[in-house]
Amino acid sequence: MIKCLLCSRNIAQNFLFSELFLLKSPQNLLCSKCQKNFEKIPEAHCPRCCKPNVHEICTDCQNWEKRGYKIRHQAIFHYNQAMKDYFSQYKFVGDYRLYQIFEPYFKSISPKSPLVPIPISPKRLEERGFNQVTAFLQQDNFIELLEKENSVKQSSLNRKERLESPNPFRLKKGLKVTTKVILIDDIYTTGTTLYHASQILKEAGVHEIRSFSLCR
C-alpha cells in the first residue's frame, strides 16, 4: 500500500501492470484529500505574472515596469495555505522526498531555452542540504549561472523589506552566458528575487528572459 507523502494516509489505487512503471506522479504520491487542497491558478490572472483573480496587468507588474523591469512569468499553482504548509515541510523541515510531488510540472517547461535555477546561499545550502529549486529539476538540462551571497531569509522579511532588499546575486565565473534563458524559482511573491536575478543576467548579456515558478 502506498502512503501519501504529506499526511501518511494509505492511497487506495488499483494499477494496471503497465502503470506500475509510472508510479512517480502527483496522483500516486498524494491522497485525494491532500490533492484537493492545492489550487491551480484560475483563468482570471495577470497576463504577465499569473497573479490570480485579476483581469489585466496587475499593480505589482505595473510598479516593476516603472522601475525598468519586465518579465513574462508563468506559474501553475496559487500560493494558498496548503502550498505554504507543503513548502514549510519541504524547505524548512528539510523533507527532500517532497520534491517528487511537483517534479512532473517542471518537466513540462519548454526546453528551447536553458533553464537557470534561482540559487540559495552557501549558508542555506549547508543548513538544508539541498536547493529546493534544483531538486525539482532532476533532469540535466539546467545551468547554474548565478550564485547567491549569504543574506537574510526572504521568508523572514515583510513585503516592504523584500522590495527594498539589496541584490544578493552575482554571475558565476567561467560560465558561458546564452542570449535566452528561463529563470526557475519555487514561489513568486513580490517578484524581487526574479527581478534581481534578471538584472544580473541582463548585465551579463542575456537579451530574453522568461521565468517560471510553481506558485504565485
150 φ/ψ angles, rounded to the nearest 5 degrees: -65, 130
If you search the block for the grid coordinates 506500475, which residue do you land on? 20
Q: Which residues contact 49 (CB under 8 A, 6 or more apart)?
A: 58, 60, 61, 71, 73, 75, 188, 191, 216
| pLDDT tops 80 at residue 53 | yes
Q: Report pLDDT for 22.
A: 41
Got the DSSP string for 153-193?
Answer: -GGGS-HHHHHHPPP-EEEPTT-PPPSEEEEEEEE-SSSHH
* Rg of the chain in Å (alpha carbons): 18
The average pLDDT across 188-209 equals 95
203 φ/ψ angles, rounded to the nearest 5 degrees: -65, -25
Q: What percent of the chain has pLDDT over 90?
A: 73
Q: What percent of the chain has pLDDT over 70?
A: 89
Q: Report pLDDT for 27.
A: 59
| pLDDT tops 50 at residue 20 | no
CB contact at 8 A, 71 and 209: yes
| pLDDT tops 70 at residue 153 | no
The average pLDDT across 34-44 equals 96
32: in domain: no
How does DSSP classify residue 29? H
Distances (CA, A) of 149 to 94, 107, 122, 167, 197: 21, 28, 7, 9, 12
How many structural domains are present in the chain? 1
Cell numbers linked to 144:
547554474
pLDDT band at 17 (very low <50, low <70, confident <90, very high): very low
Question: Which of 88, 101, 83, 81 shows the shortest CA–CA distance to 31?
Answer: 101
160: in domain: yes
Q: Report pLDDT for 150.
A: 77
The average pLDDT across 144-155 equals 81
pLDDT band at 14 (very low <50, low <70, confident <90, very high): low
| pLDDT tops 80 at residue 64 | yes
3: in domain: no
1: in domain: no
CATH number for the domain including 110?
3.40.50
* Rounded Cα–Cα distance for residues 206 and 130 (Å): 27
Which residue has better confidence, 119 or 11?
A: 119
36: in domain: no
2: in domain: no
pLDDT digit string, tens, across residues 84-141? 999 999 999 999 999 999 999 998 887 788 999 999 999 999 999 999 999 999 766 7
172: in domain: yes
Q: Report pLDDT for 96.
A: 97
Q: Report pLDDT for 19.
A: 44
Which of helix, strand or coil describes residue 74?
A: strand
Q: Is the pTM of this model over 0.85?
A: yes
pLDDT band at 154 (very low <50, low <70, confident <90, very high): low
Residue numbers of the domain that contains 145? 45-215
Distances (CA, A) of 105 to 11, 115, 196: 21, 14, 24
pLDDT band at 18 (very low <50, low <70, confident <90, very high): very low
168: in domain: yes
Measure the CA dihedral 111/67/168/107, to 10°.
-20
183 φ/ψ angles, rounded to the nearest 5 degrees: -75, 135
Mark residue 36 as left, alpha or beta (left: phi above 0; alpha: psi -120 to 50; beta: remaining): alpha
Q: Report pLDDT for 38.
A: 97
